[in-house]
Amino acid sequence: PKEIFLKDYKSPDYYFDTVDLRFSLGEEKTIVASKITVFPRVEGSSAPLVLDGVDLKLISIKVDGKELKEGDYHLDSRHLTLPSPPEGKFTLEIDTEIQPQNNTSLEGLYKSSGNFCTQCEAEGFRKITFYQDRPDIMAKYTCRIEADKLLYPVLLSNGNLIEQGTLEGGKHYAVWEDPFKKPCYLFALVAGQLESRDDTFVTRSGRKVALRIWTPAQDVPKTAHAMYSLKAAMKWDEDVFGLEYDLDLFNVVAVPDFNMGAMENKSLNIFNSKLVLASPETASDADYAAILGVIGHEYFHNWTGNRVTCRDWFQLSLKEGLTVFRDQEFSSDMGSRTVKRIADVSKLRNYQFPQDAGPMAHPVRPHSYIKMDNFYTGKFLLYMGAEVVRMYKTLLGTQGFRKGMDLYFKRHDGQAVTCEDFFAAMKDANGADFANFLLWYSQAGTPVVKVTSSYNAEAHTFSLKFSQEVPPTPGQPVKESMFIPVAVGLLDSSGKDMTLSSVYHNGTLQSVASNNQPVLSTVLRVTKQKEEEFVFCDIFERPIPSLLRGYSAPVRLESDLSDSDLFFLLAHDSDEFNRWESGQVLARKLMLSLVADFQQSKPLTLNPKFVQGLKSILCDPSLDKEFIAKAITLPGEGEIMDMMEVADPDAVHAVRTFIRKELASQLKSEFLSTVENNRSSEEYVFDHPNMAGRALKNTALAYLGSLEDSEITELALHEYKTATNMTDQFAALSAISQKPGKTRDDVLADFYTKWQHNYLVVNKWFALQAMSNIPGNVENVRKLLNHPAFDLRNPNKVYSLIGGFCGSPVNFHAKDGSGYKFLGEIVLQLDKLNPQVASRMVSAFSRWRRFDESRQTLAKQQLETIMSANGLSENVFEIASKSLA
């Protein structure tokens, strides 16, 4: 496999102006005829024209209407080359045959539940026809689709429908024209038996946009929330960024077989059904929230990704980081900002810290790759990219950021650009000094920021001294210091924010006031590696600093705050994110010290102050209920293992289980009344107060479920039977499933019987069992592989069952290697069907060096077996080989 480097980027020798595609869709074969107008970048160029093409059968090729003979071109398994194309502008016509019905990779054109659909990002278009499959080739497309009318009554592509009609032999056709230039990764086609939910949105300039969400007929009633989300997103983008939709039609299609969440194809978004279909009985609050966020995300791409796209795939975070940031802000505005930030930071930590510390570490803009798809798999690039965009906003403020966005669109609409172009727009629009901010794009590794504080009672000054270190990562042994925006507030002894007026930095006095008004929070610009001091003036008592408010930069913070400072912040910080964070820091410290006790066979005891701290949060009626739910949830086992020299899954699991049980038994009556007082109303409402109540009730129920107590089993069974929505029903099922036994078996069987006809609910049932910590669960998971509802070809099922299993530290990392062996076998089977899904699964091995020697040996064996397999895909090769390197 060939590694591709950013430094080797070259502008294409040829551009495409118009692309006319004609699809003749069939059961045995599909014919794709393309007609492209080509022009050279440099007048008079005689460079060869190299087209990408994979798994294609070439039928014919014509240049300016003249058929080429063998010898006039070269064809290999990946490219079609014209060694000497004509000078100047010419037309290229290529007929190709493909077999979408046999395409299990789910990239290019494939079939899902009998319908045709496409997935072209990142490099799937080359599986449809020969093309320069790179995002800096932007062209105007028309697409004619011809197919059997009964089997495929609906024919969709990008843009506007300009013609349709019937043909002989029971066929029909439709012609679509997209007036906007686009890269081929945004091309889409759908043909099948679908029905739509229709609505309209009138843009602020008065354009009436037809909105259609397409699914199989029986699922149309489940698209109401997706439609609500789409209209909310369209309105939000107008209100917050002044961005209007630009066509008269916006289609969304839901398909059950999809490698990722969704795809932002111009005016024809294609979605994994999981992120469209919802009804209160079948979808949880988390599903509802995910649909809102992802519908928003794909819609927002219309401007950030489609109108302005990436020059090359190394710039992926230009569109993904920015669009993830935009969807995060959208969801924050639609619900609770703090809770959303907590959820996003938790996700970031789950992807950022492990990846940054492992063999797959790479910067936000990678320097090289073998298979581009692997960057989506890690999610790092998406979430970390969003953090980089968030830092611009932190530094510039809401208005400054908006100015930067306006300039970005003004300069680059219709272009394929780079991260530097985005940086320049932000900088130029604000005349900002961003120091070496660009390093965030090129330097890998999570900076570790250390802070110490001291108070001078005589001078009335408070000093914060920072130092930073970026750990070495593969290929980057030595690091430069980064520009880190650190948002800070100071709490007085009553827990209120002190007013901040001025601060000395590097010996110069700077005002921190905004519009001459003192402020309660300020952003410090930390740039140096060694000690960098900020001294706050006019501070009349020793404050407790609230550092990195709202997680203002994606770093690991190590401060000298004592436990009592942290308890104080947990109780009082006006920055709710930091309230949560203080609780998490305390919990992490506690868990790590108990892990050490466990490893030394010491008895485990729980610090009463910790119980008290959690109790006061749990019982504080002034707090948002979802915030409470988050604040009383312990850090995950993965997060704690990441902080250990040698990860010990058994010890971490034992400790987390111990703390949960201990909290449940000491706070049993509080948890019981929390359940009692927060039962859902009969009617399901998707809004923050209702979701928050359910989140709190179900967190309490989960704690109670850890107890060996028949009263609790009865309670959970009651909750299960009386639940009126999936959130509550599944939470009760999860609480019951914590302990093996007849009740668990019966309720799991009941749940399956009830929901066997809904594949999305059945996937939840698979995931719940797969993630179980019951010892030896690998055998149960192996059995489930043969369950009639399971299918290795469907990514959602694989993510639920196999992905769920790999997320359970005790069983995946079982000492006897049974978990590793299971995954090794599955990866090889999967790789033959769907390399993208296989590479997602194999990445569970990538941190094998973090474990003890015996686990290392067992995991390494599996990786080596995978590497030695014949015909391994590039996707799996890249992850497995980098993991072993």
Catalytic site positions = 298
- Counts of helices then strands in the chain (DSSP H, E): 28, 33
Tokens coding 54: 């994979």
**Nearer CB in complex with ligand HT7: 306/559:** 306
455-489 in b/e form (b: 16+ CB < 10 A) is: eeeeeebbbbbbbbebbebeebeebebbbbbbbbb
Residues forming a β-bridge with 476: 473
Shortest reach from residue 820's CB to ligand HT7, in Å: 26
- Within 537-581, strands assigned E span 544-547, 556-559
Residue whose C-alpha is closest to residue 382's, from 362, 411, 368:
362
The H-or-E segment that residue 608 falls in is helix 608-618
Tokens coding 426: 């932000």
Pick one of Zn ion, ligand HT7, none as the site partner of residue 581 (Cβ within 5 to 8 A by kind).
Answer: none
Helix axes 777-785, 818-833, angle to 10 degrees: 20
Q: What is the distance between the alpha carbons of residues 37 and 206, in angstroms, rounded to a whole number? A: 35
**Nearer CB in complex with Zn ion: 323/430:** 323
Q: What is the distance between the alpha carbons of residues 417 and 404, in angstroms, rounded to a whole number? A: 15
Pick one of Zn ion, ligand HT7, none as the site partner of residue 532 (Cβ within 5 to 8 A by kind).
Answer: none
Shortest reach from residue 124's CB to ligand HT7, in Å: 7
**Nearer CB in complex with ligand HT7: 105/699:** 105
Question: 13, exposed or middle or buried, with CB in 10 Å at 0-12, 13-18, 19+?
Answer: middle
Pick one of ligand HT7, Zn ion, none as the site partner of residue 831 (Cβ within 5 to 8 A by kind).
Answer: none
Tokens coding 379: 């999610």
**Nearer CB in complex with ligand HT7: 264/637:** 264
**Nearer CB in complex with ligand HT7: 373/642:** 373
**Nearer CB in complex with ligand HT7: 297/653:** 297
Pick one of Zn ion, ligand HT7, none as the site partner of residue 576 (Cβ within 5 to 8 A by kind).
Answer: none
Region at 758 (left for phi over 0; alpha for psi -120 to 50; beta for the rest)? beta
Pick one of Zn ion, ligand HT7, none as the site partner of residue 390 (Cβ within 5 to 8 A by kind).
Answer: none
Q: Which of residues 309-328 bind Zn ion (CB under 5 A)?
A: 320, 323
Q: Select the residue whose beta carbon is closest to ligand HT7 and give its number.
A: 260
Pick one of ligand HT7, Zn ion, none as the site partner of residue 356 (Cβ within 5 to 8 A by kind).
Answer: none
Structural contact between residues 520 and 501, judged by C-beta atoms closer than 8 angstroms:
no
Shortest reach from residue 300's CB to Zn ion, in Å: 8
Residue 304, C-beta contacts closer than 8 angstroms, at least 6 positions apart: 319, 322, 323, 326
Footprint on this chain of ligand HT7 (rule: CB under 6 A): 119, 121-122, 259-264, 297-298, 320, 373, 376, 836
CA angle 459, 465, 470 (to 5 degrees): 175
**Nearer CB in complex with ligand HT7: 121/573:** 121
Q: Which of residues 317-376 bind Zn ion (CB under 5 A)?
A: 320, 323
CA angle 83, 88, 91 (to 5 degrees): 75
Is the preceding peptide bond at 692 cis, omega within 30 degrees of 0?
A: no
Shortest reach from residue 372's CB to ligand HT7, in Å: 7
Half-sphere exposure of 756 (CA within 13 A, CB side): 9
Pick one of Zn ion, ligand HT7, none as the site partner of residue 360 (Cβ within 5 to 8 A by kind).
Answer: none
**Nearer CB in complex with ligand HT7: 290/672:** 290
Residue type, position 8, single letter: D
**Nearer CB in complex with ligand HT7: 260/784:** 260
Q: What is the distance between the alpha carbons of residues 302 and 566, in angstroms, rounded to a whole number? A: 43
Q: What is the distance between the alpha carbons of residues 36 and 58, in angstroms, rounded to a whole number? A: 16
Shortest reach from residue 763's CB to ligand HT7, in Å: 18
Q: What is the distance between the alpha carbons of residues 266 and 269, in angstroms, rounded to a whole number? A: 7
Shortest reach from residue 741's CB to Zn ion, in Å: 43
Pick one of Zn ion, ligand HT7, none as the site partner of residue 119 (Cβ within 5 to 8 A by kind).
Answer: ligand HT7
The H-or-E segment that residue 484 falls in is strand 484-491
Structural contact between residues 257 and 793, judged by C-beta atoms closer than 8 angstroms:
yes
Q: What is the distance between the alpha carbons of residues 545 and 580, in angstroms, rounded to a whole number? A: 15
**Nearer CB in complex with ligand HT7: 127/625:** 127
100, 106, 107, 110: CA torsion to nearest 10: 20
Shortest reach from residue 580's CB to ligand HT7, in Å: 27
Q: How many residues bind Zn ion (CB under 5 A)?
A: 2
- Residue 458 to residues 256, 276, 541, 612: CA-CA distances in angstroms? 68, 62, 10, 36
Helix axes 668-677, 710-722, angle to 10 degrees: 10
Q: What is the distance between the alpha carbons of residues 170 and 153, in angstroms, rounded to a whole number? A: 11
**Nearer CB in complex with ligand HT7: 130/300:** 300
Shortest reach from residue 320's CB to Zn ion, in Å: 5
Shortest reach from residue 297's CB to Zn ion, in Å: 5
Half-sphere exposure of 583 (CA within 13 A, CB side): 27
Pick one of ligand HT7, Zn ion, none as the site partner of residue 637 (Cβ within 5 to 8 A by kind).
Answer: none
Pick one of Zn ion, ligand HT7, none as the site partner of residue 476 (Cβ within 5 to 8 A by kind).
Answer: none
**Nearer CB in complex with ligand HT7: 320/532:** 320
Shortest reach from residue 22's CB to ligand HT7, in Å: 25
Shortest reach from residue 670's CB to Zn ion, in Å: 41
Q: What is the distance between the alpha carbons of residues 482 and 490, in angstroms, rounded to a whole number? A: 24
Pick one of Zn ion, ligand HT7, none as the site partner of residue 122 (Cβ within 5 to 8 A by kind).
Answer: ligand HT7
Half-sphere exposure of 517 (CA within 13 A, CB side): 5
Shortest reach from residue 319's CB to ligand HT7, in Å: 7
Structural contact between residues 359 and 474, judged by C-beta atoms closer than 8 angstroms:
yes
Structural contact between residues 191 and 215, judged by C-beta atoms closer than 8 angstroms:
no
Shortest reach from residue 462's CB to ligand HT7, in Å: 44
Pick one of ligand HT7, Zn ion, none as the site partner of residue 260 (Cβ within 5 to 8 A by kind).
Answer: ligand HT7
Pick one of ligand HT7, Zn ion, none as the site partner of residue 376 (Cβ within 5 to 8 A by kind).
Answer: ligand HT7
**Nearer CB in complex with ligand HT7: 304/582:** 304
Structural contact between residues 158 and 266, judged by C-beta atoms closer than 8 angstroms:
yes
Binding region for Zn ion (CB under 5 A): 320, 323
